Amino acid sequence: MKLRKLLIRLQPQSELERSLRRMYLRRIKELFKKAVSLETDFNVFDEIFHGLAKASIESENFHSFYESFLTITQYYQHSQAGRGSMAIKLLQELGNSEKMEFEFVLRKLPRFLGVEERLPDMPETKQRFDIINKIHDNLVLCELKMKVYSGCSAGRIELMEKFHKFVRLVLESEKFREVLKKGGIKNVYLVGGVLFNIEGNPATVENDKEFGICYNGLIRAREEIANTLKQAGIPFKITENMHPERAFSIEFSLEELKFYLIAVYGNEVAKSLFVGKAKHNIDYFKQKLEGMLFDDLWLGQIIAISERAILEQMFKTYKERINYLLAIVEDDEILRMIKRIPAIISEEDLQFAVSEIYEKLKTNHPHLLAVKPIPAVSILATAQEDYDVKHYLGDIIQFLSCGELLQQIKGEIA
């Protein structure tokens, strides 16, 4: 029986973990809310099901799984999650900063710099950067890719186009330049960073060149920025291949402001983000990140899809509105067992709870145990040597040992 690392049932150890726990709990509640309801926005006549009619006749399990998959995942499809927020915030620990913010909209720059100005609403000022960092008279705007293949060519072009719009804004808007100067800024760094290679080690330029299409997108976008500077009559300098973790830089000056556009990898990302004064390298960041990789979301989504599919199969086949979540939550004796599970659970504790609850379900809900295949079992059996209905039950029990989640589900069926 495998113990899962579920943040929703742990005591957070930092402000970041507290924030993550709130977010994870909110999303798991939403997923499990859908898992105990037969409500759906889809039906067999929808376009998305076109062509599945024959498959549905031959396999009701397949239709139930597919509809459940859409019902559960539509929450994520419409979620404004904020990509990579945990990783971005962890980067804050790599160096000292006067002021740092995340997912920063450029038109808020006057506020960030403490300047009494307003920037106009326009495409260039509505851009959002992953990180903004102020260190004395230095301003850093950073866009990140976690791995060399993240976004590939389109992703690199998008990243550089954001920098290109920034350059055009600097060239065309005297007000924008005044905001920078009034904010005490003398040096502006536009940092495009790639953190890891395909193996998960600090990335290098050579790693990126192995994915030629990705790197070529970066270079094409760089040439467009160079052409813009050339057409504006602004002298600039391009430096290439200066370091295994630095692909190139473009430097130019305008009035008393200096601008540096830098494409960096691995440890150079940290150095550039903190203008050469990082406290830690990317290995430190990787260690911290790996320590905060929890099972809540991926496992919660697989269980929610499975439970929603089981609920539909039980209703269609046996006219019973039941799945494992409902069978557990509606049984006071089982709930008492779950509530006795300690905060720091052992494999023995979990094994005992699973055995007791499985036997009770076998007596009270024999049809439920007959529903096969369970999507989670089919999926997770390919990822580990041994995963069956009891392992699945063990995963559900670990989720429900979080009192806040259990209370939510009870509220849904009250």
For 57-72, how does the pLDDT look when each residue is reduced to its tens digit (9 = 90+)? 445 566 676 666 666 6
C-alpha to C-alpha distance for 304 and 34, rounded to whole angstroms: 7
C-alpha to C-alpha distance for 73 and 208, rounded to whole angstroms: 32
What amino acid is encoded at 62 in this protein?
F
SS3 labels along 156-181:
HHHHHHHHHHHHHHHHHCHHHHHHHH
Cα 189 to its chain centre, rounded Å, is: 26
Q: How far apart are the first and last CA of the chain?
A: 31
Q: What is the pLDDT of residues 282-308, one digit of tens each?
A: 888 888 888 888 999 899 999 999 999
Task: Reply yes or no: is the peptide bond before residue 202 cis, omega within 30 of 0.
Answer: no
* Torsion sign over Cα 272, 273, 274, 280: negative
Confidence of residue 81 (pLDDT cuts 50, 70, 90): very low
**Domain ranges across the chain:** 7-82+294-413, 96-278
Q: Is 74 exposed, middle or buried (0-12, 13-18, 19+ CB in 10 A)?
A: middle
Confidence of residue 205 (pLDDT cuts 50, 70, 90): confident
pLDDT confidence of residue 87: 73
Q: What is the mean pLDDT of residues 190-212?
A: 83
- Which helix (H) or strand (E) covers residue 119, if one does? none
Bridge-based pairing state of the strands 257-265 and 99-105: unpaired
Q: What is the mean pLDDT of residues 171-182?
A: 95
C-alpha to C-alpha distance for 390 and 369, rounded to whole angstroms: 10
- Which helix (H) or strand (E) covers residue 6, if one does? none
Q: What integer best gives the mean pLDDT of the chain?
A: 85
pLDDT confidence of residue 1: 80
